Structure 1
Amino acid sequence: MPTATERFKEAIQTSVPSKNSLGQIVVDYTKPIDKDAPSTIKSIPLEHEYCQASMTLALDSLKQTESLGNKYIFWHPFLSILIVVVSSLFLKRYPLIHLSKVSEESVLSYAGKNLFKNKDTLTNFVLFIAFSVTVFFKLLANINSHYFSNVSQLLESENGKSVFGIDIKDYALDKNIINDKLILKNNANIIVYRDVPIALAALDTPLGNIKDEDEDIIELKNIATIKALSCRRVYLKSGILEDLLNWSKKRCLDLNETVYSKKNTIKGQSVYENNLIEKLQFKTYSYEYDLEKLMISNGFKLVKLEKLDSKINRLVILLNAIGIRTKTWEIKVPVKESN
C-alpha cells in the first residue's frame, strides 16, 4: 500500500507525452500538463504519430456531450412535475395532522408543534420524494449513457473511419497508407499545446466521400460536414473551438480554390470540374447551449431538428419525450462565380 508521501507525489505528477511501440503519442489526460514544457501551441494535420490521440479526443467529445445530457435531464422541468405528482399522491395516502391553534400561541410555536406531530410522516415524505426523483433520474441517465456508449463503440469498432475518412488503426500500423489520401490527412486539424494534443476538428469533404476506393472517378456532393469538434474541457473557454470552426470554413474555401474549381487528378483520383463545396454542416444536441451560441455567432443557421434514433435503443424514446433532439447547423460556403 503506497504511503502518504507516495500518494502526494503521485497526485502532483504531470502528464509528459511519450511514444509507444507504434510511434504513437501517448498522453495521460487525467494529469495536468507539465508547466515546465515549452509554452508553444501549434496546429497540425492528421500526422501518423497523433492517430491514437486523435481518437481519444474524438471519444472525449462524446463523453462531454453525455455529461451535458445528464445535466439537462437533472434540471429538466419534468422532474419538478414528478415531484408535485408524487407529493400529491403521498399526502393523499398519508395526510398531515393539523393541530388546533391556541389563541395565545405564536405562529412559530404553532408551526413547530405541527412539525413535531408530523415528523415521522414528513421524514418518510422527504425520503420517498428523494427516492422517486433518484430512480427517475438514474433511469434516464442510464439510457443517455447507454446511447452514447453505443455511439462510442460504433466509432471505435470502425476505428474512426466515419470521422477521419480512414481506418486509424491501419494508419497507426502503416504510416504510408495515407500517402495517396493527403486530402483526408489535411481534413483534420489537431491543436497541440505544450506537446499535448488538446483539441481536434475533422472534416468530411466531397473527396472523402468515396464509395469504392478502387475507382478513379469519385462522385462528389456539395456539402462538407464537421464530423468532430473536440476540445479538452479545461480549455473550452480559451476560444479554441471558434478557431477550429474558422479553420473548417477556410479549409472548404481552400479546397474549392485548389481542388474543386477545375478538373484535377490527385494521386490518381479524378474530380469533376466546378463541383464545389457549397455548404458546411455540423450537428449538435439540443442541450449543447454553448455550442449553439458558437454556431449562431459564427453565421451558422439551424436547418434541421430531429429526434434521437430509437433503433440504437428503444428506450431512447424517453429521451425524445423530454425534448432531446439533434440539430443540424449549416453555413453557405462562398464560391467564385464562373467566368
Structure 2
Amino acid sequence: MPSSAVSSASNNVVVAPQIGADITEALDVKVAPTLALEDLNPSYGLATLRYAIDTQQRLCSDLSISLFWSPVTFSVLLMVNAAFINYKLAGLTLLQFIKWDVSGSLHCLIFFMASFAGLLLCCKLQSYFLKEQGDLVESTGAEDQFGVDLREFISVKKNQAKKLEQIKVDNAKVAVYRKLPIGMIAYQPVKHDDDKQFEITAIGGRKVYIRSGIYEDLLDWVLGDISQATQGDSFQVSMQCYSFDSDLKKLLVAKKFECVKKVKANGIIGTGLFGISKDEYVFKYQKDN
C-alpha cells in the first residue's frame, strides 16, 4: 500500500474521548447519585479494559492472602519456629536458660521474621499464574472476554466520533454511577450456532461497589437480556469462579447458579492441603410446558 494511502487512513481515525479511564478517580459527589447500565461504546473502552485487568490482579492478591492465612501455612510457621527455638535451647542448663541474653531472643525473632517473609513470598509465587493471566488480558485487549480488542475498539473514524453511542460491543454493559463507569460485564454464546447456552466471560468493578451490589445488578441484566433474546425459551448460563472468591460464590449461589464442575489448580495449591480450584457455576432456566 502506498505511504500516502496509509497516512490518509491513519488521519481518518481518532481515539474516542475516554470516560473514567482512571478507575481510581474519585466520584464527583455533586453529580446526581444515579446508576445506569449503558452499552459498552468506545468511550468506555479503556476503563473496561482496566477493570478486566484489575479483576485478575485482585484475584492474585486474594489468593495470596487466602493461602497465607490458611491453617496449613500457620501450622508450618509454628512448627518451623518451634523447631528452631528447641534447637537454640537444647543442652542449656537451668542457669544458662535464666541467663539467656538478649542475643538469643534476637536470633529467634530474626528467624521468625525470616520464616514469615519466606512463607509470604511462597504464597505470592503460588499466585503468580493469575498475574500472568492479567498480563495476557492487557496484551490482547481482553479480546477473549469481549470479542474485540478494546485497545483498538477505542479508535473510531472521524465521521463516527459524534455517534459513539451507536458503536457498541454486543452482549456487554457498563455500570455508570455519578457519570463514571464503576463496573462491567460481558457474555457470549458458548458456540456460534447455539442460542441456548451462554457464558459470562467478564465481570469487574470497583471493590467498594462490588459489595454494595453492583455485581448483582450486572448479573440480573445478563439473565434478563438472555431471557428476552430467547423469548422466554429454555437457556443455560455458565460462569467460572475461583474457590477463594467468596463474594462472587455467594452471589452466584444466591442467584440460583449451581456448581457443576471443579478443576483443581496446578501445583501444591490444588492438592488436599489447600484445595484451590476453578469452579464452573451454571444457571438453568427451564421453560414451563
TM-score, structure 1 length as denominator? 0.70
Which residue number in structure 1 is paired with residue 277 of structure 2? 325
Judge which range, 46-55 or 164-173, deviates more: 164-173
- AA at the equivalent of 1:41: L
Which residue number in structure 1 is paired with residue 117 of structure 2? 134
- AA at the equivalent of 1:236: I
- AA at the equivalent of 1:44: E
Q: Residue 200 in 1 paired to residue 184 in 2?
A: yes
- 8 Å CA contact 1:140–1:318 kept in 2: the answer is no
Which residue number in structure 2 is paired with residue 152 of structure 1? 134
- For 2:82 and 2:15, the matched residues in 1 are separated by 63
Which residue number in structure 1 is paired with residue 174 of structure 2? 190
Shift in Å, 1:174: 3.2
Shift in Å, 1:118: 5.5
- 8 Å CA contact 2:18–2:42 kept in 1: the answer is yes
Q: Residue 295 in 1 paired to residue 252 in 2?
A: yes
The correspondence for 2:48, drawn from 29, 49, 54, is: 54
Relative to structure 1, the CA distance from residue 42 to residue 121 in structure 2 (aligned partners, 3 Å threshold; closer, same or farther) is same
2:184 aligned counterpart, secondary structure: strand
Relative to structure 1, the CA distance from residue 248 to residue 21 in structure 2 (aligned partners, 3 Å threshold; closer, same or farther) is closer
User: What aligned pairs does 1:3-42 form with structure 2 within 5 A after superposition?
Assistant: 21-42=15-36
The correspondence for 2:143, drawn from 161, 174, 177, is: 161
- For 1:47 and 1:289, the matched residues in 2 are separated by 31
Which residue number in structure 2 is paired with residue 9 of structure 1? none
1:188-237 per-position Cα deviation (integer Å, ceiling 9, x unaligned): 1111011110011111125xx44xxxxxxxx2264211111212012122
Q: Taking CA–CA contacts closer than 8 Å with sequence separation of 6 or more, which of the two structures ends up with the larger relative contact order?
A: 2
1:303 aligned counterpart, secondary structure: strand
Which residue number in structure 1 is paired with residue 220 of structure 2? 246
- For 1:90 and 1:249, the matched residues in 2 are separated by 56
Structure 2 unaligned spans of 5+? 1-13, 161-165
Shift in Å, 1:119: 4.0
Which residue number in structure 2 is paired with residue 266 of structure 1? none
Relative to structure 1, the CA distance from residue 277 to residue 68 in structure 2 (aligned partners, 3 Å threshold; closer, same or farther) is farther
1:53-110 per-position Cα deviation (integer Å, ceiling 9, x unaligned): 111111121122122112102201122221233134313422264637xxxxxxxxxx
User: What aligned pairs does 1:254-333 form with structure 2 within 5 A after superposition?
Assistant: 254-257=228-231, 278-308=235-265, 310=266, 317-321=267-271, 322-333=274-285
Shift in Å, 1:245: 1.4
What's the Cα RMSD here?
A: 2.8
Shift in Å, 1:114: 5.3
- For 2:181 and 2:117, the matched residues in 1 are separated by 37
- For 2:277 and 2:263, the matched residues in 1 are separated by 5
- AA at the equivalent of 1:47: N
- For 1:115 and 1:243, the matched residues in 2 are separated by 64
TM-score, structure 2 length as denominator? 0.81
> What percent identity do the matched residue pairs reach?
23
- 8 Å CA contact 1:72–1:287 kept in 2: the answer is yes
- 8 Å CA contact 1:140–1:319 kept in 2: the answer is no
Shift in Å, 1:289: 1.2
- For 1:278 and 1:196, the matched residues in 2 are separated by 33
Shift in Å, 1:28: 2.4
Larger Rg: 1
Structure 1 runs (4+) greater than 6 angstroms displaced: none
- For 2:99 and 2:280, the matched residues in 1 are separated by 56
Relative to structure 1, the CA distance from residue 31 to residue 172 in structure 2 (aligned partners, 3 Å threshold; closer, same or farther) is closer
Task: Say how many residue pairs are matched.
Answer: 267
2:282 aligned counterpart, secondary structure: strand
Relative to structure 1, the CA distance from residue 283 to residue 51 in structure 2 (aligned partners, 3 Å threshold; closer, same or farther) is same
Relative to structure 1, the CA distance from residue 334 to residue 45 in structure 2 (aligned partners, 3 Å threshold; closer, same or farther) is farther
